[in-house]
Amino acid sequence: MKTKDQLIDDLITLAFAEDVGDGDHTTLSTIPADARGRQRLIVKEEGILAGVDMARRVFRHFDPDLKMTVYIEDGARVKPGDVAFEVEGSVRSLLQTERTMLNIMQRMSGIATMTARYQDRLEGLKTKVLDTRKTTPGMRLMEKEAVKIGGGANHRIGLFDMILIKDNHVDFAGGITEAVNRAKQYCKDNGKDLRIEVEVRNTAEIDEALAAGVDRIMLDNFTPERTREAVQRIAGRCEIESSGGITLDTLRQYGECGVDFISVGVRIQQVGTAAQNQQGPPLPICQLQQSRKNGQRWRVHKPPGRSSHPKGSMTVHGFLPENIQVRKPVRSNGVKSVEPRHEKTS
């Protein structure tokens, strides 16, 4: 089985394979091989920053000579104008790594921000927000890391590191007792030391799960009232997880019942996708500002109010050749314009 680092390296390799292919021919044809430059990641909205460590790995994977200076680490609460990091080196490398890096940071920062929003609702309680396996294929480890950065906790990583006996397993096995006994025998026969969790639907199944000796009970689609009764019945004999239909508005009600975990993975892990909860916080929007040594940096002008970029977008601004004196709109709708500014860069 591959290690966590190997899986992340595989993802980065795939990301470059699908984006760069046999070469960024635009960059290779227009940018001199010896051109040097610098990028700066600037935060545009409030949120939790996540993906800085992954950005390091992306840069190192593509070009070990890129030099990254980090000012804000993962997990920090950021605000507009904060500079997360700068990276300096070959302009060709900077241009070819920017999209992969931004995609990862955008995704992770969005998940971390949403997780923090949920976890903040549980302030003062022992309850932790849990993720699920409902992740983007190939990005599970990054997305689960983002949940931890946002203050939540990870459920099992995959099917291999925990036994979770759900209703379909119970029904096929002939009951909770039979399913748990088989799971324990399987672990013994195969030298596995795995925790066992069972999903229950009613009081009778709670009693059966307790008698079978499980590590955690998942209360599936219980109301807050039924959850409180279940917590009292279990009385600390195993961990308790609430799951199913729990929203930001009802989250604290379940936490106050005394459960250890609340799984809301689909709500915190689908940030930035087509299924995004429109009432959720926007992803931290970052502007990747680039400069060219001994050249000029663009200055971005925006009218008051929000930009036209959709939630979760990150804008990238490049550099202009020297001796070009222009001021022109970037977008036909006049949302913003740029003008070159002479600036010394080191």
Q: Is 178 a residue of the active site? A: no
What tokens were used for 92? 């060709």
Q: Is 302 a residue of the active site? A: no
Q: Is 199 a residue of the active site? A: yes
Is the separation of the CB atoms in 106 and 311 below 8 Å?
no
Is the separation of the CB atoms in 167 and 201 below 8 Å?
yes
3-state secondary structure of 202: coil
Whole-Å CA distances, 185 to 34, 36, 246 = 63, 61, 34
Give the span between the Cα atoms of 9 and 132, in whole angstroms.
22
Q: Is 134 a residue of the active site? A: yes
Given 56, 99, 182, 195, the catalytic residue = 99
Given 67, 79, 126, 166, the catalytic residue = 166
In 3D, which of 128, 105, 106 has the Cα closest to residue 116? Answer: 128
Number of H helices and E strands in the chain, helices first, is: 11, 17
Q: Where are the beta strands (DSSP E) in the chain?
A: 36-43, 47-48, 67-70, 77-78, 83-90, 128-130, 163-165, 196-200, 216-220, 239-243, 261-263, 286-292, 296-301, 315-317, 319-320, 328-329, 337-342
Given 199, 205, 208, 241, the catalytic residue = 199
Active site residues: 99, 134, 166, 199, 220
